[in-house]
Structure 1
């Protein structure tokens, strides 16, 4: 009898262990309550490190970190829309392209870079608002299909407006700083991206934690209840869509300045898929998740493409499936779960 029950007990124990691991991965976790002194030390150390990176590293490292910051800006805006607002968008590469071409065309006209970046945020905001008025009356899969159509049509639309975009020839951009700023091209774009990502991060945190963030979540979870409580559901959705488009537009402008060239092949469907992967892997409805997701889509595809050129798309697909089923709260949930016991032991006022 003992010989029979022993394998059964081992099987039950293994099953219990697998269940506990699955539950741990799928468990929602609050933000880490760091002591104030530790939070201040980490912020100062991070700020100093980010400021010094372009001064002590070669240009290719500066450009790689700049790309991470550009993806972070896109992730912050898209997470506001999808994570906090509950609206599906698969077409943010279209707004990213609009921002990139705004900077390129403005640069051809002789505009200064800061002004072209401002225009790269304003134009996608206006277009996002106009598109959002009819599109956001759709829900779920229908809205996803409309935005997917935007992403698929973007390269063709760029070629169609050849007098402005130069079609398939693309536009070369002078991404160097003004003569009175003693920085190289990679350092100049890095510091612009650092300034923009810092502003975007602070603004997104304030929106997510404030009254607007609560109204976004209310609209996402229960539209009828939110409308009963006085929230203008359609205006909230439309403004959120427009703000998210502005984030993508500014990021696209920085991307164009970094590459010093834009063409229709830069903004294909794979870019939109990578944006969705960013927020899913990083963690939906979390502000730090945009940073972790940006690190993922920058470095993991680089590694997989060195193995096989076709491995990047497969990696995105496999990772999306795994995170959707087993890690619904993304890398942020894993980091919080791993560090929470350590943080709880650190003395200091939370």
Structure 2
């Protein structure tokens, strides 16, 4: 009996520190819940999101709207960085272009739903042009070019004073048309909800479709992908253009929400927040944009209550921790925690 007990003890050792780290770093397949659970989750989530602005005060609507705006940025940036493998530290520039497109368009008398279309089109064109040097630049070089773009954005806004009003900024009337019976915060909330929902569905279809496979092929083995018939030139330019359009629409919604834009809104810290968002949420995952958006919205609020410098320190510590221990982000952690539970549900897909 003693020998048996000894064998049991030795055969089931406690997980060591190394094995715990390996467990966290292990890649895991996406969750495949049964269809009934997916439909129920979508129905409940849609109903809850539709009701939120009607039953909550404006400051809660503001923060939830910001989460949806960050989600939209994360979806586009994850297409470029996660699925496409192209480094970008300059998405605050595309975000700013979209914001000023809405502000300047509003001054010209263009209605805001139309200015959001302009906020998508202008960054799309700029992103396409930026995608051209990406054909020759890789990794750190491309990262430095996009970083320089982010650093130059506030100065460029000030230099274009006849158009952007320089450091004075532009006030925006973000109220809905007179025939829509919604308050300002509710109106922008529903616009952001529609944009984030469309962005999520489109990104999911892209990631699972032929175009998404070409993105991943260029990321993993560019030369091999080219020999197999993937048009690398077109793939990279499409990636940058699409990713920039996401950020532009998000920037336009941000301007409508705050009803003001100025150069101080688009500093380098914003680009760092965007990178943190996709790393924390999970690179090359669509749901990771949502989890990362929740992180960048609410964690800085908590840390700034401790110290004004705590947010930057928290970002640095989190990026290091996720790089070493959670390379698949919060999505990987959720998959690890819920994988076995979902596998036991009746009617699960793939069984």
TM over 0.5: yes
Asked if residue 30 in structure 1 is aligned to residue 23 in structure 2, the reply is: no
CA distance in 1 between partners of 2:155 and 2:316 (Å) = 25
* Structure 1 residue ranges without an equivalent (≥5): 1-8
Asked if residue 188 in structure 1 is aligned to residue 187 in structure 2, the reply is: yes
CA distance in 2 between partners of 1:237 and 1:312 (Å) = 33
Asked if residue 149 in structure 1 is aligned to residue 133 in structure 2, the reply is: no
**1:211-222 maps to which residues of 2 (within 5 A)?**
211-222=210-221
Q: Report what 1:4 is aligned to.
A: none
**Conserved? CA contact 2:74–2:277, under 8 Å:** yes
Q: Report what 1:163 is aligned to.
A: 162
Q: Report what 1:266 is aligned to.
A: 265
Q: Report what 1:321 is aligned to.
A: 320
CA distance in 1 between partners of 2:135 and 2:95 (Å) = 19
**Conserved? CA contact 1:136–1:143, under 8 Å:** no
Q: Report what 1:115 is aligned to.
A: 114
Q: Report what 1:312 is aligned to.
A: 311
Q: Report what 2:85 is aligned to.
A: 86
CA RMSD of aligned residues (A): 1.5
Give the Å deviation of 1:225: 1.0
After TM superposition, the structure 1 stretch with the greater mean CA deviation from structure 2, 130-139 or 119-128, is 130-139
Give the Å deviation of 1:285: 0.1
Q: Report what 1:202 is aligned to.
A: 201
Give the Å deviation of 1:135: 3.6
Give the Å deviation of 1:136: 3.7
Q: Report what 2:6 is aligned to.
A: none
Matched residues, number: 341
Deviations 1:291-342 (A, max 9, x none): 0000000000000001001111111111000000110000000001001111
Q: Report what 1:5 is aligned to.
A: none
* Structure 2 residue ranges without an equivalent (≥5): 1-8
Give the Å deviation of 1:284: 0.2
**Conserved? CA contact 1:54–1:62, under 8 Å:** yes
SS in 1 for 2:305: helix
Q: Report what 1:343 is aligned to.
A: 342
Give the Å deviation of 1:344: 1.2
Give the Å deviation of 1:181: 0.2
Give the Å deviation of 1:131: 1.8
After TM superposition, the structure 1 stretch with the greater mean CA deviation from structure 2, 205-214 or 131-140, is 131-140
**Conserved? CA contact 1:96–1:251, under 8 Å:** yes
Q: Report what 1:283 is aligned to.
A: 282
TM-score (norm 1): 0.95
CA distance in 2 between partners of 1:349 and 1:152 (Å) = 48
CA distance in 2 between partners of 1:306 and 1:116 (Å) = 36
CA distance in 1 between partners of 2:74 and 2:324 (Å) = 21
Q: Report what 2:223 is aligned to.
A: 224
